[in-house]
Amino acid sequence: MENPSGSPSGPEQDTRASGTGDTVARLNQAFGGRYVVEREIGRGGMATVYLASDVRHGRPVAVKVFVPAVASAITPDRFLREIEVVARLNHPHILPLHDSGQAGDLLYYVMPYVRGQSLRQMLDARKRLAVDEAVQITREIAAALDHAHGQGLVHRDIKPQNILLHEGEAMLMDFGIAHVASDMPEEALTQPGFVVGTPAYMSPEQAVGEPGLDARSDVYALGSVLYEMLAGQLPFKGPSFAALVNQRLVDTAPPVRQFRGDVPPAVAAAVDKALSRAAADRFQSAAAFASALSSPLSLPAGRSVAVLPFVNLSPDPENEYFADGMTEDVIAHLSKVPSLKVISRTSVMAFKKREQDLREIAARLNAGVLLDGSVRRSGDRVRIVAQLVDARTDQHLWAETYDRRLTDIFEIQTDVALQIARALDAALSPDEQRRIQREPTSNLEAYQHYLQGRSCLVRYTAEGMRQSIVYFERAIERDPGYALAYAGIAYASEELVVTGAEKPEIGFPAARRAVEQALALDSSLADAHCMLAQIRVVADYDWAGAEEEFKRALELGPSHADTYDLYGRMCATIGRFDEAIAMGVRAHELDPLAHRSDLATTLLRAGRHKEALDAAIKGIEFDPHYDRGHATLGWALFLNGRHDEGIAALQRAVAMSGSGSTWLSQLGQAYGMAGRIEEARGILAQLLADAGERYVPPYHLAYIYVGLGEYETAMDMLEQAFEQRSGAISGIKGSFLFRQLHDHPRFIALLKKMHLQ
């Protein structure tokens, strides 16, 4: 079957139809007898392909001509210059370019006419390929890409249609169109049929329009092609471009071995790594991807580790918090290893009951390896059993049993973390080893109070946070040098203010004192640097200082999901939405259940309402009982014009959250915006009455006044909130709930006071 070329915007059709007489005549005139165009043999959204004869060399060639609408959007000089660069590629697995030029308003280039079939045609006929065959094709295309990347060229449109199979070898086509079209004006690319790249295969960063794509974007697309060759289906499927983009940003591709059990673990691991959402987690070159496909059984993709909740085997159920503390501390130690991706506490705790097998848990958490363990405490003795398992193969990578005195608990935690790092061949610098081996306290009673405080804190309720402070203070009474306990007080105190449960003049000074003390005791504590950054955001409006601390926190704790989340919120506040989305994606990767709605919120702030709705729906699927998830879904629905559904979701959030004023005030705003004025005023009256007995942030009242269209009163509330540092006032510039005020002179003046204008 003939297939001389691919198309960047869709499958080609071997039409066998005669080309338009006028176009053929113009081309033949331009060629001046060098080439004789015979007929049209293929057509795509951006180009038409003609069969021609190379008169001088007596060989058939394929002439690819941009359709007029595309040609008019490309500067001819730029086209010829870039095609000249592409033409210099010289590799046995790249279909070369013979010639290029301009015929009036037509731009064209000439390629060999090769008899063969595309990989797309082969997959349509066979659905999936033998593992060795799929790997060989991938390695040959990876070699072609590595050559092109070395010349500074990124293909941008790797897909089965652009891979030609000729005499048993794979050849890559269409560098020309993909590379030249990448710099077309945006208005041209948004026309129907003109897409640089194919949604089913493009990388997350390409899908969201990030500039400066590099080799890792092509690696992702090639990983998608390999996945399809092995599994017989794409890693992601969706009814629309927006749905596909959202899946790439939020979801993890199902393990390929889920559909094809005979795929070797090393190949499955390489596919997983190539499809990592973050470019930094992928192979950094196509050559590295090819090498991994031919290597023996290797480490699971990305060295992604999930520490499952240690099972409490103690006879006293009160020791449950001790088992949970063991889980958290091992996670904290591993999070200090830069080359590991460690799933955060909130997500792993969802699997405490072990209702799924290890393979299912690993797939849900996108983890290559799992640490599974148990704790039995009796008197002053503790027995800990731990095993590290490759979830895809059930292979035990390491196991150990510790029968020790309770006072040795920190030594055990350190040993477990170091053993995991060794098993995964994760290199540690001397400083990183010292930080892992550092004991947080020498007082066992202080440690137990700290664990009780953590147990209360992670309820994420006002009552839980207040109780956590009590336990953290008890820990400090036993050990005044306990830096982690101070960091815990800082976190709880700051969150109480931001959620509106505590007055700023009480919560912020307490948080500031605690974080300063934590850093004085241990300047390498990532949690403390993260909280200092957050305080600089919410209380100081010191954006540069906050960013410096966020970066330091990530240096010290590369797998700290909360840091990515809070850093992303700050980026959204100052208008850096692409970075905010990337941070949100990373937070979700590290803690998919804790940050299940944050990406949707960021998309709402960026004005990408349809994408936000898809992400919000996915967040509810993670946890139907999550109040923040329902509130986010409510606004995503509302801002997409589905007012009644949005209000219903906000009502569910209010019912789930109890007595807090955040979702109640936002429900009041939605009522007002939907014209349900009496209901909006009813909520306003309720909150004003409550303010006599408990703290109600003026920031929350501003929501309702905006909904009612009473903008001057809303500004009164926001200015009060600014003076008090009330609620989430630091985020007003990026908030989608105050867009009606963006042009108000008082709002602009307020942004200037906050160094946001």
- Matching residue, tokens 């830096």: 483
Q: Which of 54, 146, 157, 627 is catalytic?
A: 157
Identify which of 81, 395, 180, 92 has the alpha carbon closest to the alpha carbon of residue 268. 395
8 A C-beta contact, residue 172 and residue 6: no
What crossing angle do the helices spanning 543-556 and 561-573 adopt, rounded to 10°?
160
Q: How far apart are CA 423 and CA 400, in angstroms?
A: 12
Report H helices in 315-373.
320-334, 345-349, 358-365
Identify which of 91, 624, 540, 470 has the alpha carbon closest to the alpha carbon of residue 549. 540
Task: Give counts: helices (H), strands (E), the chain.
Answer: 34, 14
Could you give the 3-state DSSP secondary structure of residue 489?
helix
- Residue 500 CA: distances (Å) to CA of 345, 542, 607, 628, 656: 25, 21, 26, 15, 17
Phi, psi of 53 (to 5 degrees): -110, 130
352: burial class by Cβ within 10 Å (0-12, 13-18, 19+)?
middle
- Matching residue, tokens 């890559």: 172
Q: How far apart are CA 106 and CA 30, in angstroms?
A: 10
Identify which of 138, 93, 94 has the alpha carbon closest to the alpha carbon of residue 274. 138
8 A C-beta contact, residue 436 and residue 428: yes
Q: How far apart are CA 293 and CA 298, in angstroms?
A: 10
Q: How far apart are CA 482 and CA 349, in angstroms?
A: 25
Q: How far apart are CA 493 and CA 466, in angstroms?
A: 8
Identify which of 535, 582, 583, 529 has the alpha carbon closest to the alpha carbon of residue 551. 529
* Ramachandran category for residue 658: left, alpha or beta (phi over 0 → left; psi -120 to 50 → alpha): left
Neighbours of 405 (CB within 10 A): 12
Phi, psi of 711 (to 5 degrees): -70, -35
* Ramachandran category for residue 67: left, alpha or beta (phi over 0 → left; psi -120 to 50 → alpha): beta
8 A C-beta contact, residue 485 and residue 525: no
Sign of CA dihedral 481, 482, 487, 493: negative
User: How would DSSP label each residue in 384-439?
Assistant: EEEEEEETTTTEEEEEEEEEEEGGGHHHHHHHHHHHHHHHTT----HHHHHHHH--
Residues contacting residue 659 through CB under 8 Å, at least 6 positions apart: none
- Residue 133 CA: distances (Å) to CA of 201, 232, 413, 549: 20, 14, 45, 49
Q: How far apart are CA 362 and CA 110, in angstroms?
A: 49
562 is catalytic: no
| Largest distance between two CA atoms of the chain | 96
Indicate which residues carry an active-site annotation. Answer: 157
